[in-house]
Every structure is written in structure tokens, then in C-alpha cells.
A and B are shown apart, each in its own frame.
Chain A
């Protein structure tokens, strides 16, 4: 079956360090992947989208990579801050329906001061 997985349930890092989160997919080749941030009790907020023909995309302190050979996307937050603490979700299009998303399990990032 087609799967999208975030292997780390939780990641704890020190303020100022770079956080790296992993998203792996199996049994299919997504045209693009998306990353969202979710705070407790809130809906997800879109961060970045990367297409299969893009190796890397950046937005301020955020960077996403897409490795179709490894079937993996990495999400980096540089110079991390306690305010970056949240759950980060990767997602792929869930099928032919415009807008359906299938999410990974999420990684809870905690940045310690």
C-alpha cells in the first residue's frame, strides 16, 4: 500500500540548533510533498510545498529537500527558537481528487531555551 511516514514521533533540540525532520514514502511517486505546522488544538498551517523536480526549496529559516532516489523529504529549521515548538506534518496528495491530502503521523518538535 502507499504510505507516507514520519519516523520520529518526537524531536528535542536546543535553541539555535538546526532541527531536521524526515518524511519517507513508499510504493508510489508523489508529484509533490507539502509540510504543515500544527499547534495543539489548532488546524494545520501550510509551510512549504516541494515538487518532484525540485531538489530544494527555502523560506526564511525553513528548508525542504526532496530526494526521489531515497524516497524521502527532509524538513530543516535553522537557528531554531522555542516558538518553533509544534507538531510538523508532511503530506501528499491523496489521490486524483483535487485537494485531498494524506498526512504522515507527525513529529513533535520541542526547542529548549
Chain B
């Protein structure tokens, strides 16, 4: 299957700093990628849809100025958590689907990034 790679897998940052997380599709092109957040013992919650060459679409309640998304190429989307605070500590996961495929197909997920804000 297709491979999605996320980097870093773990990051610890100080409160008030910014952190960038990368999501790459290694062997396929993805015009659309998705960013999820998962708190302990909870399920994945969609944060935003990342569209190559255009603005991201954010879910209700997600601050677009705090979670900056850039999808500069067909294989790379980045999520930047700006001015991070301890409550932003979470597991962030990206996913992608192959471009041009049918709509009812699987999604490929990255391995996730554990963000800890101290």
C-alpha cells in the first residue's frame, strides 16, 4: 500500500514556541491531505483538510491562525502549531488518499507525532 511519512515522531517544545510537523506521501501524489488530533483515550478528530495549492479547510472550533497548514506540493503538507501551550499537547496524525482514485477507498495514515508542550 501507499506510504505516508510523518516527521518528527516526537517533539517537546517550550510554551510559546512554534512547532512544525511534516507529512509526506512517499510513493504517490496527494492533492488532499488531512490532519487529525487525538487526545489520550479518545478517537481521532479531524482538524483540517489540506489542499495542494490552496487554503486549508478547518473544522469547526479549530483555530486557523493557531494551526497553520501549508500544502506546497503534491507530496508534502505541513502543520505548524504556533505559540504552543500545554493544552496543545496531543498526538497529531496526517492522512492522505491517492489522487484520482475512487472516493470509497482507504486512507493512508502517517505514524503520528507526539507533541508535548512544557
Contacts and interface: CB of A to CB of B under 8 A. Distances in A.
Given A43-B110, A98-B97, A101-B95, A49 B43 contact: no
Interface residues on B, range: 20 to 34
Contact of A44 (B32, B105, B109): B109
B112 A101 contact: no
Nearest to A90: B43
Nearest to A89: B43
Contacts of A44: 44, 93, 109
A107 to B, nearest CB: 10
Contact of B6 (A43, A89, A93, A102): A43
19 contacts: A32-B104, A41-B112, A42-B111, A43-B93, A43-B109, A46-B1, A46-B106, A46-B107, A49-B106, A89-B43, A98-B97, A98-B103, A99-B34, A99-B49, A100-B49, A101-B46, A102-B46, A103-B43, A105-B42
Interface of B: 1, 4, 6, 32, 34, 42-46, 49, 57, 91, 93, 95-97, 103-112, 114
Interface of A: 31-32, 34, 36, 41-46, 49, 51, 89, 93-94, 97-106
